[in-house]
Amino acid sequence: MTATTPQPVSRDHRHPGWLQGAAVGLTAAIAGTLTLIVLGAINGRGVAILGAVGMGPWPSAVRALTGASPAVSYLVSHTTLYLLAGLVALAVARVADRLPVLLTGLLLVIMVIEFGYLVVMTGWQATGHFDGVTWQSVLVAHVVANVSLLLGILWVHPSLKLDFRRAYQE
């Protein structure tokens, strides 16, 4: 007896997958940036915190290439990374609908990337590039952006929750 694979469940088939991925990534980027601004306001820095975060490693690369201000460099690098994350995540989600075991590998890759991010940001703070408030704000904003990304992926592909459970039952 062969098991049938259910068809992928997606919220809206009228929009191309890349557009859904871009929307999910941009939503996550906006959530992270707004969180950072709110944390900056709470700590008395307001939007100036974007300039402090813009001194980070990825925005510094954007600044070196474009000559943009630290705040703009942060916004460009942050938005670009989450846009790419949304596109890649939804592309992988479409494949995972057909091959649920792929989710295990995807989770491993995500954990390695996130751990690497934590190590780099902690090193950046330890070497004096970030003060304590900036470092903590970046980490909290990053968590909010990632949760937003995850919720967006599950919104577009609600079948992934079932696929994840099924991958560990096989």
Looking at the domain assignment, is residue 59 inside a domain? yes
Assigned domain for 143 exists: yes
User: In the predicted model, is pLDDT for residue 10 greater than 60?
Assistant: no
Question: What predicted TM-score, i.e. pTM, was given to this entire model?
Answer: 0.80
Give the pLDDT of residue 26. Answer: 96
Is the pLDDT score of 141 beyond 90?
yes
**What is the domain range of residue 32?**
17-169
Residue 101 resides in a domain: yes
94 lies in some domain: yes
Provide the percentage of residues in the chain whose pLDDT is more than 90: 42
Cα distances from 74 to residues 10, 69, 117, 138, 159, in angstroms, run 32, 9, 15, 11, 34
Residue 149 within a domain = yes
Q: Would 53 be classed as within a structural domain?
A: yes
Round to whole Å and give the CA distance between 78 and 39: 17
Is residue 70 included in any domain, yes or no? Answer: yes
**pLDDT tens digits along 60-112:** 899 999 999 999 999 999 999 999 999 988 888 888 777 777 777 777 778 88
Task: Name the domain count of the chain.
Answer: 1
Phi, psi of 134 (to 5 degrees): -65, -45
Q: How many CB atoms lie within 10 A of CB 38?
A: 16
Residue 105: which residues within 8 A CB-CB, separation 6 or more? none
What pLDDT was estimated at residue 17? 77
Res 15: pLDDT? 65
